Amino acid sequence: MTNPRFDVVAIGNAIVDVLAHADDAFLDRHGMPKGSMTLIDAPRAAMLYDQMGPAVEVSGGSAANTVAGLAALGARAAYIGKVADDSLGTIFRHDITAIGAHYATAPLVNGADVDKTTARCLILVTPGGQRTMNTHLGACTALGPDDIDEDVVSAGLITYVEGYLWDEPGAKAAIRKAAAIAHEAGRKVAFTLSDSFCVDRHRDEFIALVSGDLIDVLFANEMELKALYQTEDLDAAIAQVKRHADVAAITRSAHGSLVVVGDEVITMPAEPVDQVVDTTGAGDLYAAGFLRGLTSGRSLADCARMGGVCAAEIISHFGARPEVPSLADLVGERMGRAA
């Protein structure tokens, strides 16, 4: 096995996030299930954008948020995701490379096709910090096997994939190709279920992925894991995932997280937070901390603690990117105090 060039290679939907505050009445008026991620078409995206309040726009997407967290932790990260050759695509490319990530995926040449413009996610944050997402995927749907760079994937210790990609046949083929390259190079593959509605769309395929040889590390929140196994009993879901996943990291919001490995369940309490402002990116940053620990040779308990520190930082402010001067220093300080 050659020395890795990257700690993590992330594959995801390259999206520009548009974040705005909203009340429950706004969600009800537009038929949005609170806390969900809904795929929308270009006309609905334009309508909602016009009716949203003042917004903050930032390059995002689940795996890209994780890459940003990894970079802030001092990890070497690469990203694979499709944007268009338009203004939002230029912004996305500049932002993700500016944080130090390697990003060389060729853009989609789309001309005037509004359905293939760079993707955007309209995120409504309601009081209490809950986020409801409406995503127009646009150019994201064009990601395919040809976008998987074998040299990049084989040079990463862990390839991390977001479940949202599974909606498109081309992306499925790309994921399988990347996993095969990673395993052939002696690397690991991590996968996040992404959203309970995403799980509902692909339950049988996701169970096959988790129980097969494609995935080494599974990330999920409690709702997603319950949705995967169609149960309201967390213990029953854990019993199922024990049989399927080598390692499963399960986030539980204010209840912290669990790490399931073999017959062992590691319980990690949540990090204290003065006020929950916005839960956007909490799971993404948990994954960043966990993966940083994993690629640094830390114990699974330490990985969970590092993920919890990163998630606590991100929910304490608006937006899915760290705001502390150094996320690495914050994690080091908290971990040192725990030790």
| pLDDT attached to residue 267 | 97
33, part of any domain: no
150, part of any domain: yes
Distance (Å) of CA 39 to CA 36, 42, 167, 201? 10, 10, 10, 12
> Which has the minimum average pLDDT: 161-175, 279-293, 325-339?
325-339
Range 310-338 average pLDDT: 88
| pLDDT attached to residue 197 | 87
More confident residue, 241 or 17: 241
Range 35-49 average pLDDT: 87
| pLDDT attached to residue 112 | 54
| pLDDT attached to residue 228 | 97
- pLDDT of residue 337 exceeding 80, the answer is no
| pLDDT attached to residue 87 | 83
Q: What is the CATH number of the domain that holds 10?
A: 3.40.1190.20
More confident residue, 20 or 129: 20
Per the structure, the count of domains in the chain is 1
| pLDDT attached to residue 111 | 55
> 256-268 in b/e burial notation, b at 16+ Cβ within 10 A?
bbbbbeeeeebeb
Average pLDDT along the chain? 92
Range 43-68 average pLDDT: 89
pLDDT digits (tens, 9 = 90+) for 212-266: 989 999 999 999 999 999 999 999 999 999 999 999 999 999 999 999 999 999 9
CB atoms within 10 A of CB 324: 14
102, part of any domain: no
| pLDDT attached to residue 61 | 87
Residue 232, token pair as written in the block: 């309201």
| pLDDT attached to residue 257 | 98
E strand or H helix that includes residue 199 = helix 196-211
132, part of any domain: no
SS3 category, 228: helix
The residue range of the domain holding 75 is 6-14+60-83+138-338
pTM of the model: 0.89
Distance (Å) of CA 56 to CA 123, 124, 209, 211? 10, 11, 36, 40
- pLDDT of residue 13 exceeding 70, the answer is yes
276, part of any domain: yes
266, part of any domain: yes
pLDDT digits (tens, 9 = 90+) for 150-204: 999 999 999 999 999 999 999 999 999 999 999 999 999 999 999 998 999 999 9
SS3 category, 103: strand
pLDDT digits (tens, 9 = 90+) for 74-112: 999 999 999 999 888 998 999 999 999 999 999 998 655
94, part of any domain: no
Range 34-46 average pLDDT: 87
CB atoms within 10 A of CB 208: 12
Please state, in angstroms and rounded to a whole number, the distance separating the CA atoms of residues 206 and 236. Answer: 17
SS3 category, 102: strand
More confident residue, 320 or 44: 44
| pLDDT attached to residue 339 | 38
| pLDDT attached to residue 42 | 83
45, part of any domain: no
Range 117-146 average pLDDT: 90
For residue 113, what pLDDT band results from cuts at 50, 70 and 90? low
SS3 category, 243: helix
| pLDDT attached to residue 114 | 56
